Amino acid sequence: MSTTHDHPHDSAPVAARVRHVEALLEARGHLDPGEIDRRIDEFAAGGSPAHGAAIVARAWVDPNFRERLLADGNAAIAELGYSMGSALQDQKLTVMANGGDEHHVVVCTLCSCYPIALLGPSPGWYKSEAYRSRVVRDPRGVLREFGLELPGSTRITVWDASAESRYMVLPRRPAGTEEMGERELAGLVTRKGLIGTALV
């Protein structure tokens, strides 16, 4: 197993500074009270696992799009009208493709960084300390608890998200779906599949 980490060491002091700056901006009239929370809520409301599912379905039917998605996630999703950026911060999207002998799973070990625009609000288990700490140490065991039993020969890579970098899994296309169109294929993709805690 390998783990990719690019997270700041401790987000608590940063969060405290952000709250302090927000209070100063509000006190000086540069920011309406609660404006940042409202913008975050608006951004989250626009996110849906259906967006990630549509991206996966396109990658399954269009090999050229798949190549572009794996090479530059941000540019590829923009082709379909999606974006990782927000009014507050740009985020780099990296998409990893599951294969016959390789499986990817996403976590944020320090908080709950997550591609909301593509997957909707993060599930409670993704934010839980149990998942965040254990999936790095024992990914095979955690996936088993989700009902996903992978062969012993499968290499599991855990990707650790950060404020700047977000990850999404490109699941393997299920066998027997060759006659299905994009919309039908998208209907097979779940949020767990996009995080890597389930197959499609």
Which residues are tagged catalytic? 108, 111-113
Handedness of CA 39, 132, 170, 73 (dihedral sign): positive
Question: What is the identity of the amino acid at 158?
Answer: V
Which residues 6+ apart lie within 8 Å of 104 measured at CB? 96, 97, 98, 156, 157, 158, 159, 167, 169, 196
In whole angstroms, what is the distance from residue 146 CA to residue 195 CA?
Answer: 12
In whole angstroms, what is the distance from residue 83 CA to residue 76 CA?
Answer: 9
Which residues 6+ apart lie within 8 Å of 164 measured at CB? 6, 89, 90, 91, 92
Which residues on neighbouring strands pair with residue 169, listed in sequence order? 96
